[in-house]
Amino acid sequence: MAGLLHLNSTLLPSASLLLRNRSGGQAVRRRRACRVEAKIREIFMPALSSTMTEGKIVAWNAAEGDRLAKGDPVVVVESDKADMDVETFYDGFLAAVLVPAGESAPVGSAIALLAESEDEIPLAQSQAASFSSSSSSSSSSSPPAPQETAAQEASPPPPPPAPVAVSAPAPPSPAAQGGARVVASPYAKKLAKELSVDLFSITGSGPAGRVVAKDVEAAAAAPAKKAVPVAAARPDVPLGSTVPFTTMQGAVSKNMLESLAVPTFRVGYTITTGALDDLYKKIKGKGVTMTALLAKATAMALVQHPVVNSSCRDGQSFTYNSSINIAVAVAIDGGLITPVLQDADKLDIYTLSRKWKELVDKARAKQLQPQEYNSGTFTLSNLGMFGVDRFDAILPPGTGAIMAVGASQPTVVGTKDGRIGIKNQMQVNVTADHRVIYGSDLAAFLQTLSKIIEDPKDLTF
């Protein structure tokens, strides 16, 4: 769903009324009867997530002077979690861009002016000069209210534009690779994935080089070039230079620093996975993923150990969360995000697997909505698919525990009858908030989780 810019207007009095204002009293009494000469709206940087404090303009989808219709995408904004297309809620003309592509602005600060008619563009552009001379901090303060009376000054200047409120942000966005970025419409990106077209090989024909659907279709229809063997290229990184954090990397850095204030401890456990592996082989043809199986098993164990699903935010109390929402760490281009399987204990494994696939697709396309990545109550981080046998995970702020899952590997073990055998086993390590969760709590939780995984018949109910 696209983000809409809800725009409030500033009404400017006619020139004749301003002349009467200079002569005195009667003009004040007739203020309400003035004719509207100009309606200019201010577009400010939207808050696209609860943790976002500033946003980066990735691209403007329209140029100054372009006519915009309600629902047209105006700008692509990079937040701390995703890139979002923001659409206009009104018809008008993009009169002045205050923050160009590539620059950042605090949430709530003006980034552009929208004029209702083409005749009002020069007036909006003259007002834009005052914004450019102001500091970002002053422009991000409380939006100015429209002028209510013309008697406050002998010759009042035109009032500043009214602020814009932004509704739920839109999905979508630019792909990124090795620091480079391709700006593409949401449909073009979806189409490129369906047609197996590399967006980086396309020259966009849309505004500011934006790749649109017709560009993808043309690339898909073009005859394929014969592949030429080349030596493996090293990643295109600016060696020897200092690169600033992306917005998402900055958010991850901030969260990691916050986590240092929480007293944590770690408990490891070895779980035999032979039965789980056999179950997975039987049902993976129905779309079931190992991530969904692990999330389901974890959720079932948390039902019996609610303190491990609790959270402490103020350092003085903690909350027994009413829902079991399993967040799973996913690496995406330029950062890390945790899509959330909400109410994982209540969903069957097939529904859970379908939901997980949808979340991963949206995460990689940077289309997750805030409630789909910030509502987790317990987090999983799985590096087993890379052959990692064990690791520790950092506790995300606002949650009680995170579990690091290693690879399931054949392991030589001693059997109960004194013989030596081979079993598939995996290592899990839980990092927990010691203000709320104690060692005995984690030990009991891991024992329950081990029993569920080693006898997984209930996972398919």
Beta bridge pairs of residue 422: 412
Question: How far is 401 from 171, CA to CA, in rounded Å?
Answer: 29
Question: How far is 424 from 274, CA to CA, in rounded Å?
Answer: 5
State the CATH architecture for 40-132: Beta Barrel (2.40)
How many CA atoms lie less than 13 Å away from 110 in the CB half-sphere?
A: 30
Q: Tell me the two tokens of residue 288.
A: 């079931």
Left if phi > 0, otherwise alpha if psi is -120 to 50, otherwise beta: which for 322? alpha
Beta bridge pairs of residue 335: 332
**Structural fold of domain 187-218:** Dihydrolipoamide Transferase (4.10.320)
20-76 confidence digits (pLDDT tens): 444 444 444 443 433 445 578 888 788 776 667 788 888 888 888 888 888 788 888
142-191 confidence digits (pLDDT tens): 444 333 333 333 344 444 444 443 443 444 444 444 444 567 776 777 77
Q: Tell me the two tokens of residue 241.
A: 């230079």
- Residue position matching structure tokens 């390590």: 429
Question: How far is 399 from 402, CA to CA, in rounded Å?
Answer: 8
Q: Are 335 and 250 in contact (CB under 8 A)?
A: no
Q: What residue segments make up the domains of the chain, in order of their start? A: 40-132, 187-218, 263-454
Q: Tell me the two tokens of residue 275.
A: 């039965």
Which one of 67, 214, 286, 434 is the catalytic residue? 434
Q: Tell me the two tokens of residue 166.
A: 């932004």
Tell me, rounded to whole angstroms, the distance of Cα 417 from its chain centroid: 53
- Give the burial class of 223: count Cβ atoms within 10 A of its Cβ; 0-12 exposed, 13-18 middle, 19 or more buried: exposed
Give CA separation, 126 vs 122, 153, 389, in Å. Answer: 6, 20, 63
Distance, first Cα to last Cα, the chain: 34
Is residue 434 annotated as part of the catalytic site, yes or no? yes
pLDDT tens for the chain, 461 residues long, are 444 444 444 434 333 333 344 444 444 444 343 344 557 888 878 877 666 778 888 888 888 888 888 878 888 887 766 777 777 777 888 888 888 888 888 888 888 888 888 888 888 887 777 766 554 444 444 444 333 333 333 344 444 444 443 443 444 444 444 444 567 776 777 777 778 888 777 888 776 677 877 888 888 877 655 444 444 445 667 788 888 887 778 888 888 888 888 999 999 999 999 999 999 999 999 999 999 999 999 999 999 999 999 999 888 899 999 999 999 999 887 678 899 999 999 999 999 999 999 999 888 887 888 889 989 999 999 999 899 999 999 999 889 999 999 999 999 998 888 889 899 999 999 999 999 999 999 999 999 999 999 999 999 87
- Tallying the residues shown for the chain, one arrives at 461
Question: How far is 154 from 150, CA to CA, in rounded Å?
Answer: 8
Query: What single letter denotes the amino acid at residue 337?
Result: I
* Residues whose CB is less than 8 angstroms from the CB of residue 388 and which lie 6 or more positions away in sequence, other chains included: 406, 407
Q: Are 95 and 138 in contact (CB under 8 A)?
A: no
Give CA separation, 258 vs 53, 294, 399, 436, in Å. Answer: 16, 28, 12, 17
Give CA separation, 363 vs 81, 83, 267, 366, in Å. Answer: 9, 11, 30, 5
The 10 Å CB-count burial string (b at 16+, else e) for 158-177 is bbbbbbbebeebbbbbbbbe
Q: Which CATH class for the 263-454 domain? A: alpha beta
The 10 Å CB-count burial string (b at 16+, else e) for 9-42 is bbebbeeebbebbeeeeebeeebeebeebbbbbb
- Give the burial class of 277: count Cβ atoms within 10 A of its Cβ; 0-12 exposed, 13-18 middle, 19 or more buried: middle
Fold agreement between 187-218 and 263-454: no
Tell me, rounded to whole angstroms, the distance of Cα 114 from its chain centroid: 26
Q: What is the pTM of this model?
A: 0.61
Greatest CA span in the chain, whole angstroms? 107
In 3D space, the residue among 110, 195, 178 whose CA is nearest the CA of residue 144 turns out to be 110
φ, ψ of residue 5 to 5 degrees: the values are -90, 110
